[in-house]
Amino acid sequence: MPSPTPSICPMPLRKADFATLTEALDYASGSERGLNFYSGNGQLLESLRYRDLRDQARSLARRLLAAGFVPGEERIALVAETGGDFVRFFFACLYAGIAPLPLPLPMAFGGRQGYVGHIRRMLGAARVSGLFAPAFLADWALEAAEGLPLRVAGGFGALDGHMETADALPAIGQDDVAYLQFSSGSTRFPSGITVTHRALMENARAIVRHGLQIVEGDRGVSWLPFYHDMGLVGFLLAPLAAQISVDYLPTGEFARRPLTWLSLIARNRGTLSYSPSFGYELCAKRAAATVPEGLDLSSWRAAGIGGDMIRPQVLAGFARSFAPCGFDPRAFVPSYGMAETTLAVSFAPLRTGVEVDRVDLDVLEGDGLAAAPRAAGGRTRDFVLCGPPLAGHEVEVRDPGGAPLGERRLGRLFVRGPSLMHGYFDQPEETARVLSADGWLDTGDLGYRVGGALVITGRAKDLILINGRNIWPQDLEWSVERAGGLRSGDVAAFAIEQDEAERIVLLVHCRTSDPDARRALKSTVAGTLRAEHGAEAQVLLVPSHSLPQTSSGKLSRSRARQLFLAGAFGDGL
């Protein structure tokens, strides 16, 4: 029976002051710390010390070279199951000088055919030379790779028969490509983001020194997927660069057993863990029925929120539910980032919890100004402050003409700093569209500044323009979810053009077959939009689980809109 790796060991802590990821693992291998992989019910399946990871990864790297993979010229796709095999292969690629490409698991694409087609497009876009997957997906991986010019394709055991090359492993430099990370695809088909060792280590240093301020004895706990930047960088690469131990729950098990996440934090005295808002919401709902006996969350000093729009009422509900278990709401750390910046852009200051800016929604929608409410009873919106930019990074809020805006003026966010991506792989025109010659990245997000802190209001492409008003789709979705007693992700709001004007469409998950209940739901949705937003919309009830998601589990409004326009939902239920 394996034992989890320790949180404390005598080796001096280094806070990501390395040139490359391989150098970081070389140092971490002197520690007893490492990575621990659990089942959905909390059983420890594998304990992988950093010293063993280094030895096994270097051995695999020599097998990759013996199989004909060429350092510096090729890419290998890895289906990112939450387990030791993925991590071993990821670092084997790094030691061999070959860029790994994490691929998603088949959890958000609806069946074999959709998943195989999706990753096949990724394989082609990245021009990979190899593909490895967990054994239970080996057949699907082979189907996706059929006809592609790959050296090796199959399960993670596909190299077991290969001998190790006698040649020395290549030297790895700061400006070598570390890995490719596909964007989540929330606004377009995923693009391969090229991340160098230099950019990764810059972001990791900013995270462990300034954002989370790692200290001796810290321990991470995560259910986030390795194919998404928050899971890969935030809870694998950055912790390794600071030599801390991490406990993992499989991503696919989280929705079924969310309280296992909290149990792992309590059992191993975890201090660092992140989730999008929906993860906290799911735990609070399960806690309404039962909380594990003796659950103690007092060790959790940084409860991060990121990956989607932050919902302060959800976090307040979580804090209330778990206050008896020792959870301190000051542990919340609202954050902002994206794969194009490797991961992090900003962190709220530690031990301040969730700070909210309440603004007049009519003024924000009409004038683009985040002003204080004018009078009691008016329409307001609470936005969460995500803290100042990381050290060495700059953020500008710009108007449509590109001019910088002052405090509380709503605009498009641009970021510049040392941890930005090298570009989109093999897409120079797309890279030039978002990344200027002087290093400014167009994030595609809207927001404003308050006293140096960033406030994110949503994606620019999702914004709905009706009668001179800027309406955020999440505002409509959240209002409907609350009024209709629906779950997060049950509503998709977007606009379509009809008769030379924009019209709002709402797709709403419906879980009942009763005609009266359906009519009542549609009436509630329409009435809520009129009363709370002064808006009319076409409301279409759709089957449960039919709204599309991105690879990171977020609602994909753009894909929902495409499906609607293609007639995929028909006339609804």
Residues 284-298 pLDDT 10s: 999 887 888 899 999
Residues 410-434 pLDDT 10s: 999 999 999 999 999 999 999 999 9
Residues 64-103 pLDDT 10s: 999 999 999 999 999 999 999 999 999 999 999 999 999 9
- Torsion sign across C-alpha atoms 27, 29, 33, 35: positive
CA 174 to chain centre: 25
Residue 14: the pLDDT is 97
Residue 187: the pLDDT is 41
Residues 274-287 pLDDT 10s: 999 989 999 999 98
Residue 244: the pLDDT is 98
Of the candidates 300, 287, 227, the residue with the CA atom closest to the CA atom of residue 258: 287
Residue 467: the pLDDT is 67
pLDDT higher than 60, residue 235: yes
502, with CB counted inside 10 A (0-12, 13-18, 19+), is middle
CA 439 to chain centre: 23
pLDDT higher than 70, residue 108: no
Domain annotation for the chain: domains and CATH numbers:
21-268 (3.40.50.12780), 357-460 (2.30.38.10), 463-565 (3.30.300.30)
Residue 183: the pLDDT is 76
Token pair belonging to 280: 């906290």
Q: How far apart are CA 103 and CA 117, in angstroms?
A: 13
pLDDT higher than 60, residue 185: no
Query: Contact 5/32 with Cβ under 8 angstroms?
Result: yes
Of the candidates 435, 437, 448, 527, the residue with the CA atom closest to the CA atom of residue 482: 527
Q: How high does pLDDT run on average in the chain?
A: 92
pLDDT higher than 80, residue 109: no
Residues 377-391 pLDDT 10s: 788 999 999 999 999
CA 468 to chain centre: 33
Query: Contact 80/226 with Cβ under 8 angstroms?
Result: yes
Residue 186: the pLDDT is 40
φ, ψ for residue 237, nearest 5 deg: -75, -45
State the CB neighbour count (10 A cutoff) for residue 256.
10
Token pair belonging to 86: 């993925």
DSSP type of residue 332: E
| Average of per-residue pLDDT across 537-548 | 88
Q: How far apart are CA 98 and CA 132, in angstroms?
A: 14
pTM reported for the whole predicted model:
0.89
pLDDT higher than 80, residue 107: no
Query: Contact 401/503 with Cβ under 8 angstroms?
Result: no
Share of the chain above pLDDT 90, in %: 71
